[in-house]
Amino acid sequence: MEGKADSLRSSEASAEKGSAFPVQEQAWVLASQRGDSLAFNRLVLKWEKPIYNLVLRMLHDPDEAAETTQEVFLAAYKNVCRFRRDAKFSTWLYRIAVNHCISRMRSRPPGIHLSLDDREHGPGLQERLAPVKSHESDVVQNDSWKRVRRAVEHLTPDQKAVVELKFFQDLTFEEIAAIVQAPLSTVKSRLYSGLESLKWRLGSPGTTRDAGVQS
């Protein structure tokens, strides 16, 4: 344990200040790429809850979300050596999570609708998934969270991914484009069409172009 701790401190000391993500996190990534499982566990502890919440909102099933989250981190662990440190680690991790979610949603039989309303999932779930407040949230602020969740379920997997990343993760269009690996124009098109669908289902007046959607 002492040797691993020294290794982490050494990595952190040598990390460049101008890196694309926090120095401490960079040190953990560098150590993980050398096979240090303790360092990777620290990355898991930092990102497990955000990734689980993202996956749960996209899949709407706690058991499937827990299983998918494990798959995401297992894939990240197996491929961490391929991570290029010219981008944020979170961007790379979100990309893995979104791809797993989209794959699962596309493999579902037609007509499958899952819900987070079942009380057996335990108290505090809705509170844990409360959306991040941002200038974008005006689109849905006048509707109940339950209605929004149900409306989001009718979006295509690609639309749902962009809406999730923009509204609830509060990411910029550039960050979303890097995660979903699509041009900015495609990301914006998916968001606008997703918002049109949401507004129609929620009965909101106006158009998405007036919703203040900016990067």
Contacts of 157 (CB under 8 A, 6+ apart): 101, 102, 105, 106
What average pLDDT values come out for the chain (215 residues) when binned by 10 residues?
A: 49 44 88 96 95 92 94 96 88 96 85 45 39 48 65 88 90 94 95 90 57 47
The HSE-up count of residue 122 (CA atoms within 13 Å, CB side) is 7
pLDDT for 206 equals 47
Question: Strand runs (DSSP E) across 1-155, as ranges?
Answer: none
- What is the token pair recorded at 146? 């339950």
Domain at 19-130, CATH class: mainly alpha
Categorise residue 16: left if φ over 0, alpha if ψ from -120 to 50, beta otherwise: beta
pLDDT for 36 equals 96
Domain with CATH 1.10.10.10 in the chain: 131-215
Domain with CATH 1.10.1740.10 in the chain: 19-130
pLDDT for 145 equals 67
Q: How far apart are CA 98 and CA 162, in angstroms?
A: 10
Under a CB-based contact definition with an 8 Å cutoff, are residues 28 and 14 in contact? no
In the numeric block, the tokens 């809850």 are attached to 49
Task: Collapse the DSSP code of 15 into the 3-class scheme (helix H, G, I; strand E, B; otherwise coil) and give the result.
Answer: coil
Task: Collapse the DSSP code of 26 into the 3-class scheme (helix H, G, I; strand E, B; otherwise coil) and give the result.
Answer: helix
CA-based radius of gyration for the chain: 19
pLDDT for 187 equals 96
pLDDT for 153 equals 82
- DSSP letter for 155, please: S
The HSE-up count of residue 156 (CA atoms within 13 Å, CB side) is 9
pLDDT for 17 equals 41
Fold (CATH) for 131-215: Arc Repressor Mutant, subunit A (1.10.10)
Q: Is the pTM of this model over 0.75?
A: no
pLDDT for 16 equals 41
Between the CA of residue 124 and those of 51, 116, 163, 170, 202, what are the distances in Å? Answer: 17, 11, 23, 22, 25
